[in-house]
Amino acid sequence: MNALKTATARLVARPSIFRAPIVATKLNFSTCTPARNTAALNAKPKNVMEFVDSQLISQANADGRQELFARKNPQGVKPGSILLVETLNSTADKSTSTFMGVCIAIRRKGIDSSFTLRNIVMRVGVEQRFSLYSPLVKSIRILQKPTDLKFRRAKLFYLRDQPGKAFQPLQGLWKQEQLDKAAAVAKK
C-alpha cells in the first residue's frame, strides 16, 4: 500500500508537458466500505486483513449464517447434522436447486468458511462443498441434529467407507420435505 501511495505521489508531483502541473496533496486511499456499526470500529484487530475479513463477513452475514455455524452455538450446525441447502443456479436466473446431506466437515476460515455435505444418490456417494458466505446459497436449513452418541469427531470422513451408518434417515426426511413443500404450494 505504501508503494502505491509513493508511486501515485510521484506521478501527481511530476509535471507533464500535456497538462498543467498539479500541486501534490495528500490522497486518501480507502478500498473498504465504511463500517456500519461502531462496535466493529472499537474492536482492535491485530492486522489489516482481520479487519477486512470482519467487514466482509458482516456484509455477507445478512441472514445469520455466522451464528448458525459458530463453534460456541449449541443449537448450531455440527458435523453429523442433516442439512438442506437451497442454491441459486445463477445470479441472473431465479431457478434454484436443493441438496440434502449429512454435514461431514466444517471449515471455519473467516470469509472462506465452507461446509461439506455427503449423500448417497442412486447408490453413488455424492459430496458437495458449499461456501458459507456465497451469494448463490439461498438458504440453509437444519433438518436433524446429531446425537452425541452417534458422532464424536469433527471430521466425519470415515462415513465414506461406512455409508449405512448415517444415511438411512435421509430418504425419510427427503420425502417429508417434499410433502411439506407440496402442502405449502397447495395452500397458496
Q: Quote the cell numbers at residue 63.
A: 441472514
**Phi, psi at 143, each rounded to 5°:** -90, -35
pLDDT at 14: 55
Q: Is the dihedral of CA 84, 90, 92, 94 positive or negative?
A: negative
Q: Of 85, 180, 98, which is closest to residue 142 (Cα–Cα)?
A: 85
Average pLDDT over residues 3-11: 62
Reported as a single tens digit per residue, the pLDDT across 111-167 is 999 999 999 888 888 999 999 999 999 999 998 888 766 778 889 888 888 766 667
Tell me which amino acid residue 17 is: I
* Amino acid sitting at position 123: R
Residue 128 is inside which H or E element, if any?
Answer: strand 124-131
The three cell numbers locating residue 2: 505504501
Half-sphere exposure of 136 (CA within 13 A, CB side): 14
C-alpha cell at 3: 508503494
Average pLDDT of the chain? 79
Structural domains of the chain sorted by starting position, each given as residue range(s) with its CATH number in brackets: 2-60 (no CATH), 65-187 (2.30.30.790)
